[in-house]
Amino acid sequence: MTQTDIWTERYRPAVFEEVVGQQEIVKRVRSLVQSLNIPHLLFAGPAGTGKSTLALIIVRELFGDTWKQNYLELNASDERGIDVVRQKVKDFARTKSLGNVPFKVIFLDEADALTREAQQALRRTMENYTNTCRFILSCNYSSQIIDPIQSRCVVFRFKLLEKKDIASVIKKIGEREKLNIAEDTYEALYESSEGDCRRAINLIQATASISPDVNAEMINIISSRSKPANIRIVLDYALAGDFMNAREKLLDVMLKESIAGIDVIKAIQKEVWNLQVEPELKLKLTEKTGEIEFRMVEGSDEFVQLQALLASFVMAGRGKSL
Amino acid sequence: MTLAEKHRPKKYTDMVGHEQVILAVRTFLSEFPKKKAILLYGSPGTGKTSLAHVAARENNAEIFELNSSDLRNRIKLEEILKPASKQESLFKKNKILLVDEVDGVTGTDIGGIAELIRIINQTSHPIIITGNDVWQTKLAPLRPLCTLVEMKSLKPDTVQIFLSNICAKEGTQENPHFLKQIAIKSQGDLRAALNDLQAYTIDRNIPVDPEKRNKEESIFNILKLLFQQRQDFLQLFDNTELSLDEILLWIEENIPREYREESLFKAYYALSNADIHRGRIYRQQHWRFLLYQNIFQSAGIAYAKKLPRSTFTKYERPKRVLKIWMNNQRTAKKKTISQKYARAVHCSVKRVMRDFEVLRPILQSIQIQQKLKLEQDEIDFLTK
């Protein structure tokens, strides 16, 4: 069984009609596009719900065959700092758009990864080039975007996809790729993708690359490969008073799985409730976790902050008051 | 003219004991622009700058040099380096850019690093960068762009051979034992050895003092004072050449070797406070906060314990930065693959890296590998 294409791309909706689960947004965006004059847009919502897809459809509808010349895609979480963003925007916006539409479109993905200062700078950039450029920003939480930017954009909130939406997408792929999908697969896919359509498609393709007969068990095996690594071991070491091992394990996990400090904090916060300790202590540990998450945002070295958190788990394990 | 100036090496073969580094530089120059820059690092006086000049001479190239006495700010760099990196050289010779003592770029002209990175990306001439300590946070964005090569300190024996060669050229005779003393004292710093040789041959009365304290000794003392005493901590860091950020890494590494339970907890919270202020400095260029960082990582650490203590603790050098770097080397292919894939699927590299194990079977399809234009070594990484 060979696969010739990346399915998330092959089956990415190319026209408004194909987008699933966001009917209201699609309706409004489409009427904006038909007027050939879109405002700045802000797409807020979880991963894999169609934000990038909708941006791509918009530029295809606007520019037709010349969309590639008139469209720039940047990812804020990958670009190093606002300077890069500004320079690229400047270079792109300097030349006139091709075709009937008097502006170009810049899609800034994961805009919530920009710091507040960077967003302030971005706001100026948006103002300076507003005649020649329209921005589409995407983010997971609109609360992470500063008000002045939000007020310059029309905000659309994308919903998490429902089970039936994911199932319909997967069914279509199954037919086209001649897969034999067992009925329990859809449930498993929805569970492990958490409504993230990109992830669901990746899971089905990864599974299908092994065998065209797909079932829940296989999906679960594949998806467990990228489950957030076992933070529990780290916490167990810390609670047992072994700071050195806790620290070493933590660094290993972070390096091996390429996870950032902020994701470690999220995992710890979830794991605290599964610990075998008094509820009171859980509450205290949660408080510390929140404090460290805040410090991480303010500080410069997330591993220093995580060590401070591990130290408080060591204290808790010794029954010392926090 | 000092002996050190007079006997600066002119050919690769003059540089005794550095054969491997020379090989790395030659490979870098012959493969340019595969990598745009090479970063030579090591203790002072190991010959980093000399090697750059020798390399230029051996390649019949003109050298364009910037050292830390040049104002390393962005405007200056843009003026000087940028035209140089794009222009053809005056006499149609090759050109090599030398950025000397990169760690001399201090916090205030931190824009200098950003600009240097930009220049590395655009340059049409190979760039040689030298530095003493390349593991500082501010140089982190620079490291992945460069080939990193360490110039190790020379062994005393090598230094001694070198010194006696110089004496032969100068037509003087020196007692081997005397040369050996100078060689040991130099701790691999050839320039210092030559200066000493010159000084001692002028005035025989200066005793050779082999007990020169080196940098690492001083950080070990600082850690001892910090963790065990409770006094003079505000001036503590004045006696070392290490930056506050480097000291922070040393403290971070060694807290659990010294403190337990409550002290451990307090010490890390002090360090966390220091880091918060450092974060504010980075983001807002609010340099006054350096004061707070200093206090938290000195007094904050010292007062984490209840009483002064004196036990023997074996301190260790910070391992984290090295570990991260080694990991990045190991997973470099994962990153380049993720970059290619991310571009194709309109998604961030970070997210792809996180989901890499799910994507791996997809990326093993030959057709997809061709579409993403993966290199052979990237394909090997996926099938391994």
Strands (DSSP E) found in B132-222: 146-150
Q: Go through chain B and tell me how many residues it has.
A: 384
pLDDT at A156 over 90: yes
Output the pLDDT for position B240. 74
Q: Do A304 and B271 touch (CB under 8 A)?
A: yes
Partner-chain residue, chosen from A109, A310, A314, that has the shortest CB–CB distance to B261: A314
Strands B37-41 and B146-150: parallel
Average model confidence (pLDDT) for chain B?
80
User: How many helices and strands, by DSSP H and E, does chain B display?
Assistant: 18, 5
- Greatest Cα-to-Cα distance within chain A, rounded to the nearest angstrom: 71
Higher pLDDT, B216 or B267: B267
Phi and psi at B128, nearest 5°, equal -110, 125
* DSSP 8-state class, residue A214: E
Q: Do B271 and A73 touch (CB under 8 A)?
A: no
Highest mean pLDDT among A245-249, B66-70, B323-327: A245-249
pLDDT at B252 over 90: yes
Output the pLDDT for position A144. 83
* DSSP 8-state class, residue A229: P
Q: Band of the pLDDT at A236, cuts 50, 70, 90?
A: very high
B106 three-class SS: coil
A108 three-class SS: strand
- C-beta of residue A315 within 8 angstroms of C-beta of residue B265: yes
Q: How many other β-carbons are positioned within 10 Å of the β-carbon of residue B232?
A: 11
- C-beta of residue B101 within 8 angstroms of C-beta of residue B131: yes
pLDDT at A85 over 90: no
Partners of residue A109 in chain B, C-beta under 8 Å: 346-348
- C-beta of residue A185 within 8 angstroms of C-beta of residue A169: no
Q: What is the pLDDT averaged over residues A59-68?
A: 92
Q: How many other β-carbons are positioned within 10 Å of the β-carbon of residue A144?
A: 15
B297-321 pLDDT, tens digit per residue, is: 999 999 898 887 767 788 888 888 8
Q: Which of A52, A77, A138, A243 to mutate against chain B (most B CBs within 10 Å)?
A: A243
Q: What is the pLDDT averaged over residues A12-26?
A: 94
| Integer Cα distance of B228 and B263 in angstroms | 12
Partners of residue B279 in chain A, C-beta under 8 Å: 298-301
Output the pLDDT for position B124. 80
Q: How far is CA A262 from CA A295, A296, B149, in A?
A: 11, 8, 33
Average model confidence (pLDDT) for chain A?
89
Question: Six-digit token pair at A14?
Answer: 């190319």
Output the pLDDT for position B213. 41
Higher pLDDT, A234 or B177: A234
Partners of residue A320 in chain B, C-beta under 8 Å: 261-262
| Integer Cα distance of B117 and B142 in angstroms | 6
Partners of residue A307 in chain B, C-beta under 8 Å: 252, 255, 268, 271
Q: Which of B243, B268, B340, B354 to mutate against chain A (most A CBs within 10 Å)?
A: B268
The alpha-carbon gap from A244 to the nearest alpha carbon of chain B, in Å, equals 7
The alpha-carbon gap from A133 to the nearest alpha carbon of chain B, in Å, equals 20
| Integer Cα distance of B187 and B116 in angstroms | 32
Q: Which of A1, A2, A3, A6 to mutate against chain B (most B CBs within 10 Å)?
A: A6
Output the pLDDT for position B155. 81
pLDDT at B47 over 80: yes
Highest mean pLDDT among B268-272, B281-285, B379-383: B268-272
Half-sphere exposure of B265 (CA within 13 A, CB side): 17
Partner-chain residue, chosen from B282, B344, B353, that has the shortest CB–CB distance to A9: B344
Partner-chain residue, chosen from B255, B283, B361, that has the shortest CB–CB distance to A206: B361
The alpha-carbon gap from B306 to the nearest alpha carbon of chain A, in Å, equals 16
Higher pLDDT, B157 or A153: A153
Instruction: Compare all CA atoms of chain A with the CA of B353 and give the residue at the minimum distance.
Output: A258
pLDDT at B66 over 90: no
pLDDT at B106 over 70: no
Half-sphere exposure of A104 (CA within 13 A, CB side): 23
Output the pLDDT for position B305. 86
Q: Do B272 and A259 touch (CB under 8 A)?
A: no
Q: What is the pLDDT averaged over residues B229-234?
A: 72
A242-265 pLDDT, tens digit per residue, is: 999 999 999 988 888 778 888 899
Q: Do A300 and B278 touch (CB under 8 A)?
A: yes
Partner-chain residue, chosen from B264, B327, B346, that has the shortest CB–CB distance to A314: B264
The alpha-carbon gap from A129 to the nearest alpha carbon of chain B, in Å, equals 24
Q: Which of A59, A138, A292, A301 to mutate against chain B (most B CBs within 10 Å)?
A: A301
Higher pLDDT, A180 or A122: A180
Output the pLDDT for position A80. 60
Residue B36 burial by Cβ neighbours in a 10 Å radius (0-12, 13-18, 19+)? buried
Q: Do B347 and A226 touch (CB under 8 A)?
A: no
| Integer Cα distance of B353 and A138 in angstroms | 20
Partner-chain residue, chosen from A80, A109, A223, that has the shortest CB–CB distance to B348: A109
Residue B380 burial by Cβ neighbours in a 10 Å radius (0-12, 13-18, 19+)? exposed
Output the pLDDT for position B105. 61
> Which of B293, B306, B295 has the alpha carbon at shortest distance from B230?
B306
Q: Band of the pLDDT at B71, cuts 50, 70, 90?
A: very low
B378 three-class SS: helix
Distance of CA B11 to the CA centre of its chain: 25
Output the pLDDT for position B210. 46
Output the pLDDT for position B328. 80
Q: Band of the pLDDT at B212, cuts 50, 70, 90?
A: very low
Instruction: Compare all CA atoms of chain A with the CA of B284 and give the residue at the minimum distance.
Output: A117
Question: Six-digit token pair at B90?
Answer: 């005056």
- Amino acid present at A91: D
B77-95 pLDDT, tens digit per residue, is: 666 666 666 555 555 467 8
Partner-chain residue, chosen from B275, B279, B345, that has the shortest CB–CB distance to A9: B345
Instruction: Compare all CA atoms of chain B with the CA of A294 and give the residue at the minimum distance.
Output: B276
Q: What is the pLDDT averaged over residues B214-236?
A: 75
Q: Do A4 and B368 touch (CB under 8 A)?
A: yes
> Which of A228, A159, A222, A227 has the alpha carbon at shortest distance from A185?
A222
Q: What is the pLDDT averaged over residues B134-149?
A: 82
Q: What is the pLDDT averaged over residues A125-151?
A: 88
Output the pLDDT for position B70. 55
Lowest mean pLDDT among A110-119, A274-283, A293-302, B107-116: B107-116
Instruction: Name the β-bridge partners of A156.
Output: A43
| Integer Cα distance of A314 and B260 in angstroms | 9
Q: How many other β-carbons are positioned within 10 Å of the β-carbon of residue B371?
A: 16
Percent of chain B with pLDDT over 90: 18
pLDDT at B153 over 90: no
> Which of A110, A115, A160, A119 has the alpha carbon at shortest distance from A139?
A110
pLDDT at B334 over 80: yes
Q: What is the pLDDT averaged over residues A210-225?
A: 88
Give the CA angle between residues A69, A75, A79 to the nearest 5°.
110
| Integer Cα distance of B123 and B132 in angstroms | 24
What stretches of chain A show up as alpha helix (H) in DSSP? Answer: 7-10, 23-34, 51-63, 81-94, 116-128, 147-152, 163-176, 184-193, 197-208, 216-224, 231-239, 243-256, 261-272, 279-298, 302-317
Distance of CA B90 to the CA centre of its chain: 32
- At how many degrees (to 10) do helices A184-193 and A216-224 cross? 20
Contacts across the A-B interface (CB distance below 8 Å) = 160
Output the pLDDT for position A81. 66
Q: Does the model's ipTM exceed the 0.95 cut?
A: no
Q: Do B137 and A300 touch (CB under 8 A)?
A: yes
